[in-house]
Amino acid sequence: MAGMLLRVPKAGTQAYKHEDLQLYWETSVQPLFGLQDLVQQRLVRLGDAHVVSLLNAALDLHEAETGRRDDFKGSKVAHAEYGMLVEDMRKQHADDVVIEFKPKWLAQSPNAPATAQRCRNCAREASRRAIIHHTTHHTHTHAHKPKPKSKPILCPLDFLACQDSPAALDRVVNHVVSHLSLPASSHQHTRLVSWLQTNELLSRLRDAQTANDAHGPLKASAHDPRFQLAMTLRDCTCFVRIPAQADRPVEAKFADLDKKNWEAKLGYWQATETQLIVEGYYHGEEKPRQRTNCRLEGRAMDDGGGRRLRT
């Protein structure tokens, strides 16, 4: 159990059981990557209902005594037969640096207009912000629950562009270390920069996303397991652990590669795509225009040469 965390299923969600998540991960996800690229996970039997009751009691105590993260408050462990042991990507030493981010859509949506000035993710973030703007300025109710996001938006296309664009590299570094104190002169900062410039992990993820979704949500054929996989690959987390000791290697791995409930989500994915197209988010035509900093927005000028980049 050393070096592993216990992941338990949350009560009251429509997510698949951990047995299903594990089988999917082993058969569909693992073959796409190397062993060192994935946060390892395995099933663990939770035992009888007493164990889950003890876990819930411990959560109640923790909530009462020290409080829990806002988005976790009130959530309970489901009564389930299995949980998972997942490789622990937290610091191994007090001075290690751990960065956690979601790479999201590393390539444009196949359904985006050819003249789009935003990638799928920046268009989606603009729509979220426009809805928040709208609901804070009007009493109008919207079909989508607004999701407050105050963090600056990072264009996911910058993750790969930073291999040859210093400006993209700057944006990515600033974004991923914004909540850390990581002096630019530190060896860990240098190693982060070097990882961003040379890693093959993110391009492997991008390739797997595009290889499994040539047609986009609007044209995905019913029950296409490849499209389902693409959506899993667009919603994973990347952990990068940069050790305090210069002789230990940087470790970068993907986690949360969970099977998506295709039937429950296809309508939502299609409605999202239609909204981004019809309401002009791909072209930045919403009113008022939301500030994004998308790589497709014509500001690739800062990469030299003034070419509009379509990466």
Ligand X SMILES: Nc1ncnc2c1ncn2[C@@H]1O[C@H](COP(=O)(O)OP(=O)(O)OP(=O)(O)O)[C@@H](O)[C@H]1O
CA distances to 132, 136, 137, 268, 309 from 141, rounded to whole Å, are 11, 10, 11, 18, 38
Among 17, 42, 45, 90, binds ligand X (CB under 6 A): 90
Tokens of 191: 């190693």
Q: What is the DSSP letter of 281?
A: G
CB of 19 to ligand 5MY, least distance (A): 17
How far, in Å, CA of 25 to CA of 257, rounded?
A: 7
* 121 vs 188 by CB, closer to ligand 5MY: 121
Residue 231 Cβ vs ligand 5MY, minimum distance, rounded to whole Å? 6
Q: How far is the CB of 242 from ligand X (least distance, A)?
A: 14
Which position's Cβ is nearest ligand X? 89
With residue 240 as reference, give the H or E element that holds it. Answer: strand 237-242
| Residue 151 sits in the site that holds ligand 5MY (CB under 6 A) | no
Residues in region 4-23 near ligand X by CB under 6 A: 5, 7, 10
Backbone φ and ψ of 190, nearest 5°: -60, -40
In angstroms, rounded to a whole number, what is the distance separating the alpha carbons of residues 179 and 97? 11
Considering only 18, 175, 206, 260, the residue that binds ligand 5MY (CB under 6 A) is 260
Q: Could you tell which of ligand 5MY, ligand X, none binds residue 255, using a CB distance below 5 to 8 A set by kind?
A: ligand X
Could you tell me the smallest distance in angstroms from the CB atom of residue 12 to ligand X?
11
108 in Cβ contact with 132 (< 8 Å): no
Binding mask 43-82 for ligand 5MY (x = CB under 6 A): ----------------------------------------
Can residue 118 be called a binding residue for ligand 5MY (CB under 6 A)?
no
Q: Are 84 and 22 in contact (CB under 8 A)?
A: yes
Task: Out of 10, 62, 90, 102, name the contact with ligand 5MY by CB under 6 A.
Answer: 102
**Cis? peptide before 103, omega within 30° of 0:** no
- Please, what is the minimum distance in Å from the beta carbon of residue 160 to ligand 5MY? 19
- The residue number whose beta carbon is nearest to ligand 5MY equals 235
Q: Is 81 in the site for ligand X (CB under 6 A)?
A: no
Strands 97-101 and 237-242, bridge-based pairing: antiparallel
Q: Does 235 bind ligand 5MY (CB under 6 A)?
A: yes
**What single-letter DSSP state applies at residue 93?**
S
For the chain, what's the residue count?
Answer: 311
By CB under 6 A, is residue 265 in contact with ligand 5MY?
Answer: yes
Based on DSSP, count helices (H) and strands (E) in the chain, helices before strands: 9, 6
Percent of residues in the chain assigned helix, strand, coil, to nearest 5? 40, 10, 45
Separation between Cα atoms, residue 189 and residue 282, nearest integer Å: 34
Residues that bind ligand X (CB under 6 A): 5, 7, 10, 39, 86-90, 100, 255-256
Residue ranges binding ligand 5MY (CB under 6 A) = 102, 124, 231, 235, 260, 265
